[in-house]
Amino acid sequence: MKEKTNFWPAALCILGFSFIAITGWSIYRATQGVSSITDPRYYSHGLKYNRTSVETAAGQAMGWTLTPLLSADSIELTLTDKHGLAITGCSGSVTFAPSPADGVTTTISLEDLGLGVYKVLLPSNTGKNMAATITLSKDQTTIQRNLLINR
């Protein structure tokens, strides 16, 4: 009668050795540096996004309303709260999309005219149609609007 050979001890030893080898290789790779696709400032991007989202949500919750008025060479923006009262003391900017002529994005700071009115002069290098992003902030509250300007 033939004796059966028990292969389980050998299989368990091979499995254990494989586990130890793969673990060792993983530790070695982890200590050799990070991959080239890792962003070292990953968490700061996430935190900035979260802060911006919270500030924008605060502006919406407070009922801020931004009303643009386009003239020949400028945009006047009126910022009011949910009761129609002017919101003064904000800082802000308007970022114009890249122009077809030179492909340059232009950002211009808003001028505070008082009584919740903010003004920006339109850049001279823009065409008849341009896209702009308006951002106004006060304390921890931000309002942001996209605008398509047709002149």
Domain count, the chain: 1
Q: Which residue is it, tokens 């802060």?
A: 51
Can you give the pTM of this predicted structure?
0.58
In a domain, 33, yes or no: no
Q: What percent of the chain has pLDDT over 70?
A: 74
- The number of residues making up the chain comes to 151
Q: How confident is the model over 106-130, as pLDDT tens digits?
A: 889 999 998 899 999 888 766 677 8
In a domain, 31, yes or no: no
What is the CATH classification number for the domain harbouring 121? 2.60.40.1940
Q: Among the residues of 7-119, which ranges form H helices?
A: 8-31, 42-61
In a domain, 101, yes or no: yes
